[in-house]
Amino acid sequence: MSEPSTAYDPGFKPRPRFTELPQWVGPSTRLVHGARRPDYNAGAVVPPIYQTANYHFPAEFSESADRGGVYLYSRLANPTVEGPTELLRQLEGGDAARLFASGMGAFSALLLSLLRSGDEVVALDVLYGGTLELLKDTFPRYGVSVRFVGEKEAREPETLLTEKTRLAWVESPTNPLLTVHDIGRWARAADTVGTLLVVDNTFATPINQSPLALGADLVVHSATKYLAGHSDLVAGAIVGPENLLSRIDSKGDIGSTLDPFAAFLLARSLKTLALRVARHNENGRRVAEALAAHPLVRRVYYPGRASADEEAIAARQMRGRGGMLTFTLDGGAERAEKLLHRLRFVHSAASLGGVESLASVPSLTSHRHLSPAERAKRGIEDGLVRLSLGIEDPEDLVRDLTEALDALR
């Protein structure tokens, strides 16, 4: 009589599918219920953390691996990471999505996967400092030419893009000047010459803006910011059509894979995204109005404030203006820092998008790698202060900022 085998044999079990929600479901409901998988996770209301690097091979390994239906290694796929990935896919309206270990990891994976030597990139010259540095210093070393365009040029993208332009990179609103660009117009210009349009939607979030619906090819996020929303994780995201996403580090070769615990925290945070963004929108509007009326504030940058034309674009493509704004003080970075140290409810910190309000001086943080001349060319003054308004009571934020400004007189 033979001994019973003690070997573990999971057999072939296809990776579970997510329950499809009706099209009429709103964003808050979708964020709470959009990543359900029936008869999975042992019935747990909150999906568990699959904190594992690898998985048992099924008995019929070659067949199941060819069918792409099993988990093999967490650099390639992990059940915990798939939940928030699916939520972002639904929220941005894409066919597919990928999560990465950071926003810069996502951006680098996209550019490395889609560009080759000899290609041209057209990008705004006012972007997040890390993106600027990547495009300005890194990719030209590999034969990719990058042409930066100013705010005035960017208003007519059809005059900028040619058949040589492989990819265009746009933020709207921009970091740190909150300029709103016409995504639909950029998309039409890109389609005419076969250029891929990438839109960084970090500041707006998919609650306030839908670049894919406006014609963009790919949407990117530093998910560290509003998507995570609690200043406790680092992540990045790309959303778009499957034919493009399948080409972006599909085998995990670049290795910028999101950790399961960070993915668990991101899934937790996404459930309240719509609620948080509603308060961010309100706080941004109230603080922008208060700062614009203060005598020590020379200028307020806020989506749509620059001109009537920009207001028309913002009203057309944004559902809310967000919680980001910047303003300029006379006296340069030194006076701006003095203001930050007088604030009670606004932390002096480099990041953004959290439930707590944050402030920074871009010339000393996100754009410090640019020379003074380069910053001046882009309109990033030394006395520019960037605010990320959290979810505090708007009256408290207005009072805090007003009293801190008054103390500088």
Q: Which residues touch 251 (CB under 8 Å, ≥6 apart)? A: 76
Alpha carbons 33 and 270: distance in angstroms, whole number: 11
187 φ, ψ (degrees, to nearest 5): -65, -40
Of the residues 75, 185, 268, 342, only one is catalytic, namely 75
Token pair listed for 3: 């001994």
Contact 134, 104 (CB under 8 A): yes
Strand partners, 381: none
User: Is 305 a known active-site residue?
Assistant: no
The yes-or-no answer on residue 128 being catalytic is yes
- Pick the catalytic residue from 50, 71, 128, 301: 128
Per-residue H/E/C for 38-70: CCCHHHCCCCCCCCCCECCCCCCHHHHHHCCCC
User: Which two structure tokens, joined as six digits, stand for 92?
Assistant: 């941005």
Nearest CA-CA partner of 210 in 88, 57, 86: 88
Instruction: Report the C-alpha gap between 87 and 269 in whole angstroms.
Output: 11
Q: From CA 108, how far away is CA 294, in angstroms rounded?
A: 41
Q: Say how far apart CA 107 and CA 49 lie, in whole Å.
A: 26
Residue 50 annotated to the active site: no
Concatenated DSSP letters for 194-209? TPEEEEE-TTTHHHH-
Catalytic residue among 119, 182, 200, 249: 200
Cis omega before residue 394 (within 30°)? no
Catalytic residue among 89, 98, 166, 225: 225
Gap between the Cα atoms of 120 and 110, Å rounded: 15
In 3-state terms the chain splits into helix, strand, coil percentages (rounded to 5) of 40, 15, 45
The amino acid at residue 51 is Q
* Cα–Cα nearest to 93, from 213, 193, 197: 213
Q: How many CA atoms lie within 13 A of 54 on its CB side?
A: 3
Is 200 a catalytic site residue?
yes
Backbone dihedral angles phi then psi of residue 83, each to the nearest 5 degrees: -60, -60
Task: Provide the 10 A C-beta neighbour count for residue 17.
Answer: 10
Catalytic residues: 75, 128, 200, 225
